[in-house]
């Protein structure tokens, strides 16, 4: 690693708070204020935070004289963003009625709260002054004790009141000489290393299909109502938890492999690539999936000082990594270069192309004859890792 550069890592921590009557009141007042502000923005067509605040501030102060003023600021932020997205939808012809804020959530800025993780104490500004609340802290939360606290949300759920805090920390990122290329696929993650390849079979499609079938059964059995909604939510949550768990394990493995290198991922923001999604599973979930996995890889890597770059995904699965010739299918999942004869598994090629793109843009140049870049047919050092057992 040559130079080091400072970067910010952000993570959200979730804390359960002991129930309290004052907070219950606060949720109600806050919702009233946000809805008053949305209404005002709607009637007067105001999309600017400052304008909305200056037009309504005096009124709100009079109506809620004991409420700390920063609640009005954050309520203005929420109202502005809700009204803006309503206008956007309206322009596209998707908006229905005037928007209403129905959530039990309160946005907090750093004037409104102070969290002491080690003591398990939250100090919160309320109309009754600063109150002290008990926060349930586990080992998991301790890692945040030296982080900076940013914006936070108080959220009321069926199972209690939570404080979600955005923490941030500066990390020193090394400038790597080489990268590993990570190709995310529906059923596996394939990684091009400087000295070989690694693959993790994830069987994600099977997990998804199983949950899809479960949800369909519920939908057929129970036509409508609360019970149906509850059950669907339960299985949706279970699926997300299971995938999250899988992603954390995968990310740990990938970061381990990246020791001493940087990590190259595909920029998936505006592409459809050639991933053939199974039809029954919707694409929105897939995009959520890949981006979720990428963000977990990214923060875990940064916390270890590992650089993460995003490469343009075009042609990563259609051009030869050796000679840039056009690749053609040659059997199941195998691609062959018509120009130089290079042939390999399509995910291997994908990961190698991602790695080479990163090297070209951010790495120290390596001549293309380098043995590490010209894996001979049938001699690829592929390490296969499977998670099948835990997901059977």
Interface residue list for Zn ion (CB under 5 A): 320, 322-323, 325, 337, 339-340, 342
The least CB distance from residue 380 to Zn ion, in Å, is: 15
> Would you say 123 or 360 has its CB closer to Zn ion?
360
Residues 6+ apart with CB under 8 A from 187: 201, 202, 203, 204, 205
The least CB distance from residue 357 to Zn ion, in Å, is: 16
Answer whether 35's CB lies under 8 Å from 101's CB: yes
Answer whether 155's CB lies under 8 Å from 12's CB: no
> Would you say 208 or 336 has its CB closer to Zn ion?
336
DSSP string, 35-61: HHHHHHHHHHT---HHHHHHHHHHHHH
A 10 A CB-CB count for 282 gives 13
Tokens read off for 363? 């790495």
The least CB distance from residue 335 to Zn ion, in Å, is: 10
The least CB distance from residue 342 to Zn ion, in Å, is: 5
Pairing of strands 179-184, 262-266: parallel
CB contact burial 10-34 (16+ within 10 A = b; e otherwise): eeebebbbeebeebeebbebbbebb
The least CB distance from residue 321 to Zn ion, in Å, is: 8
A 10 A CB-CB count for 257 gives 17
The least CB distance from residue 383 to Zn ion, in Å, is: 24
The sheet with strand 308-311 has its strands ordered as 308-311, 262-266, 179-184, 188-193, 196-201, 382-386
Residue with tokens 């004289």: 65
The least CB distance from residue 318 to Zn ion, in Å, is: 12
């Amino acid at each position: 690693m040559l130079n080091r550069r400072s970067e910010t890592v952000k993570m959200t921590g979730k804390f359960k708070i002991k129930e309290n009557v004052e907070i219950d009141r606060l949720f109600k007042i806050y919702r009233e204020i946000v809805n008053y502000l949305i209404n005002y923005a709607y009637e007067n067509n105001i999309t600017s935070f400052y304008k909305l605040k200056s037009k309504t501030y005096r009124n709100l102060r009079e109506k809620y004289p004991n409420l700390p003023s920063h609640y009005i600021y954050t309520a203005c932020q929420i109202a502005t963003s809700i009204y803006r997205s309503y206008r956007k939808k309206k322009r596209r012809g998707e908006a229905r009625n005037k928007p209403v804020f129905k959530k039990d959530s309160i946005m907090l800025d750093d004037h409104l709260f102070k969290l002491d993780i080690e003591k398990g104490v939250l100090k919160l500004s309320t109309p009754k002054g600063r109150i002290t609340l008990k926060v349930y802290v586990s080992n998991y939360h301790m890692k945040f004790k030296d982080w900076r606290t940013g914006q936070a949300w108080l959220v009321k759920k069926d199972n209690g009141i939570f404080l979600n805090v955005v923490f941030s920390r500066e990390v020193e990122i090394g400038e790597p000489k080489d990268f590993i290329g990570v190709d995310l696929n529906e059923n596996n993650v394939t990684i091009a290393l400087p000295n070989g390849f690694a693959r993790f079979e994830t069987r994600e499609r099977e997990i998804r299909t199983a949950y899809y079938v479960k949800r369909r059964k519920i939908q057929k059995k129970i036509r409508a109502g609360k019970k149906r909604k509850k059950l669907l939510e339960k299985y949706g949550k279970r699926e997300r938890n299971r995938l999250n768990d899988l992603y954390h394990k995968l990310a740990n493995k990938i970061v381990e492999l990246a020791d001493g290198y940087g990590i190259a991922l595909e920029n998936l923001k505006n592409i459809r690539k050639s991933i053939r999604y199974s039809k029954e599973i919707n694409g929105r979930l897939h995009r959520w999936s890949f981006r979720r996995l990428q963000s977990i890889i990214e923060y875990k890597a940064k916390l270890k000082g590992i650089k993460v770059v995003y490469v343009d995904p075009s042609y990563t699965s259609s051009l030869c990594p050796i000679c840039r010739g056009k690749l053609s299918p040659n059997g199941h999942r195998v691609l062959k270069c018509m120009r130089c004869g290079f042939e390999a598994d399509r995910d291997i090629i994908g990961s190698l192309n991602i790695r080479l793109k990163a090297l070209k843009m951010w790495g120290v140049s390596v001549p293309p004859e380098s043995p590490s870049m010209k894996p001979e047919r049938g001699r690829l050092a592929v390490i296969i890792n499977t998670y099948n057992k835990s997901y059977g």
